Structure 1
Amino acid sequence: MPTYTSAQAREQSTPITGEQILRVGPVNPTVAESLKSEFASLVLPDSGPEREALIASHGQNIRVAVCSGRIGVDSELMAQLPNLEAIINFGVGYDATDTKQASERGIVVSNTPDVLNDCVADTALGLYLSTLRSLGAAERFVRSGSWAAGQNFPLATRASGKKVGILGLGRIGQAIATRLEAFGCEIHYHNRNQKPGVNYQYHSSAVDLAAETDVLIVAAAGGPQSAKLVNQEVLAAVGPQGFVINIARGTVIDEQTLVEALRSGGIAGAGLDVFEKEPHIPAELLELDNVVLLPHLGSGTHETRADMASLTLNNLRTYLEKRELITPIS
């Protein structure tokens, strides 16, 4: 059987069959059911001899992979699929996929932008309020009986009227900013490049952004370019009165340095929906009352997950019919 580059493979006129579509890892239940009933796709076992056997028997024939943003198609798997043409990704993030290899081979990749902007921004706002006003700790205070026993809960921090720095003013970052404007917040931001037509104050580095604001909200895309972008220098600039909110990717923050800053009082608090090695969270964070911890639920609503599933499947259908994607990554 001849071996094609992915770009050459797309020039083939032969239809793509179910045995040429591979589901990689767990995916949204609606997507999983459609892959099974509508497309009769293959499912890659997680590990072991069954996985090796499937790759040995079908790897040469796979032309489309469907995955979640958390699992992706990594370097090793992609190299085992020489005729892969397209990766259909459920989720806006795709840092688990080797996009460098995909680009070199002409493999196109889709994600699910826009449909989750509002819910992720809502989650950021919830974390913002809960972290600054210590709402999670306050609820635990009530449930523990401390209030009924006559104790007073410590004072928290005002959430309205703050200077808020948004690290990554993309679609989600902009949605967060719009919400915070209603709280009278002054919005600042840092991107690789200043955005035209944006009235918020731009800062040329993450350090400068953190130094000039009260709260740093991390909304940057994941991947190698942003790994540990929020490092010791940035956290020192946040300072002992400042807060960090992260709804982006756990890898964007130097997690151990963040733990130390929270433990030592280097920063006032943090609200985290994402972690470096999900679902595993540093044990030290579980013991701290100045951090709010969520199980990566940014887009976790019935409505948004349904929209994401629909867009994922429409990307797949469009690729099979036209060899095009509705929402290719840039």
Structure 2
Amino acid sequence: MAGPDLLLATPIPAPLRAALAERFTLHEGDPPPGIRAVVGGGAMKIDAALLARLPALEIVAIHGVGHDRLDLDALDARGICVTTTAGALTEDVADQAIALMLAVQRRVAANDALVRGGGWAAPLGRRASGRRIGIFGLGRIGHAIALRAAPFAGALLYCARAEKPVPWHFVPDIAALAEASEVLILAAPGGPETDRIVDAGVLDRLGPDGVLINIARGSLVDQDALIAALAEQRIAGAGLDVFAQEPNVPEALRTRDTVVLAPHQGSATGEGRAEMRDLVLANLDAHFAGRPLPTPLIRPVSHDARPGR
């Protein structure tokens, strides 16, 4: 017997797709009006126009934690549930942030390419320990990054919506955080509030010895400003797992050996993806059985962390 109609809004891993196919009637592309559930990655877009075509929709299950392309107000107005896989990817994304931080400062990728090409004499790297490390966003992932970064840090600072009961130094806005930091790690959600919040001014405050690490969303960074700051050596380097127009990465970033690049791999471990799959299924199973959702999306109270606010 066919299960409820479910729309796959983005590509998803094969194991999750197979498990969904056992429970639901899967659809892709142009959706029929009987769709009751939507599943997709954090980059999926659900706006009012799509919702108007889905009168029977009850739940959106995100395979990830990103939700900046969802019209949450329109979903709330319809009473449609939204779930994420919060918690399942925290440790892996935090590991990726530290890996990028070390790789940039110790020239891991550049030196690997040098040796593979038969070379040996390499430029000096930078000491990774004792740096002032700033983290923009102290949710689950930001907190996990902070725990990992603390042993490296000469000082550990953070900017969040409000000060938290943690042993690290609170900074009220990202411009001040950049100025006080030598390594700036981005771990905040995407969306209008943080769109291109790392602009030329913030990069200038980070300074010529500063390193930018982004495991959050490409939308947080003014990518053209970043390219200019790297080319003019107004910052020392960057480690990037996310980009403005994925999977398109500008040549100016691909060819600069002070930049370490990854293809949005923060949560890409076998263990993490298995936990994410299980959470998507658990949320859907709970919804259709009338049970409480394991990981519903909780919308934070809005506070602006832009410079000067």
What is the TM-score of this pair, normalised by structure 2?
0.92
- Tell me, yes or no, if structure 1 residue 321 matches structure 2 residue 282: no
Aligned residue in 2 for 1:26: 11
One-letter identity of the residue aligned with 1:217: I
Amino acid across the alignment from 1:42: L
Task: Give the counterpart of 1:200 among 157, 161, 168.
Answer: 168
Whether the aligned pair in 2 keeps the contact of 1:110 and 1:328 (CA below 8 Å) is yes
Q: Which has the greater radius of gyration? A: 1
When the two structures are aligned, how many residues end up with a matched partner? 297
Give the counterpart letter for 1:240 in structure 2.
P
2:138 to 160, 165, 169: 169
2:264 is aligned, of 292, 296, 299, to 296
Distance 2:278 2:154 in 1: 35
In structure 2, the CA distance between the partners of 1:193 and 1:91, relative to structure 1 (3 Å rule), is: same
State the 1:277 CA deviation: 0.9
Q: 2 CA distance for matches of 1:285 and 1:75? A: 35
Residue 303 of structure 2: aligned partner: none
Within the candidate set 189, 210, 226, 2:158 is matched to 189
How far 1:141 moved relative to its partner?
1.1
> Which residue number in structure 2 is paired with residue 179 of structure 1?
148
SS of match in other structure, 1:125: helix
The offset of 1:28, in angstroms, is: 2.0
Greater helix content: 1
Cα distance change of structure 1 residues 97 and 320 upon mapping to structure 2, 3 Å threshold: same
Matching of residue 140 in structure 1 with residue 124 in structure 2: no
Gaps of 5+ in 2: 299-309
Question: What's the offset of the Cα at 1:74?
Answer: 3.8
Give the conservation status (yes or no) of the 8 Å contact 2:132–2:153: no
Question: For residues 202 and 137 of structure 1, do their structure 2 counterparts lie closer, same or farther at Cα, with a shift above 3 Å needed?
Answer: same
* Offset at residue 36 of structure 1 (A): 1.2
Question: In structure 2, what is the Cα distance between the partners aligned to 1:38 and 1:62?
Answer: 14
| Contact 1:75–1:101 (8 Å) recurs in 2 | yes
Specify the alignment match of 2:56 in structure 1: 83
- Please give the alpha-carbon distance, in whole angstroms, between the structure 1 residues aligned to 2:139 and 2:125: 30
Please tell me whether the aligned partners of residues 75 and 97 of structure 1 are also in contact (alpha carbons under 8 angstroms): no
Per the TM alignment, residue 75 of structure 1 is displaced from its structure 2 partner at its CA by: 4.0
How large is the Cα RMSD of the aligned pairs? 1.4
Which stretches of structure 1, 4 residues or longer, exceed 6 Å deviation after superposition?
none
What does residue 208 of structure 2 align with?
240
2:59 and 2:80 in contact (8 A); partners too: yes
Deviation at 1:115, TM superposition (A): 1.4
Unmatched tracts of structure 1, length 5 or more: 1-16, 46-50
- 191, 194, 204: which one aligns with 1:223: 191
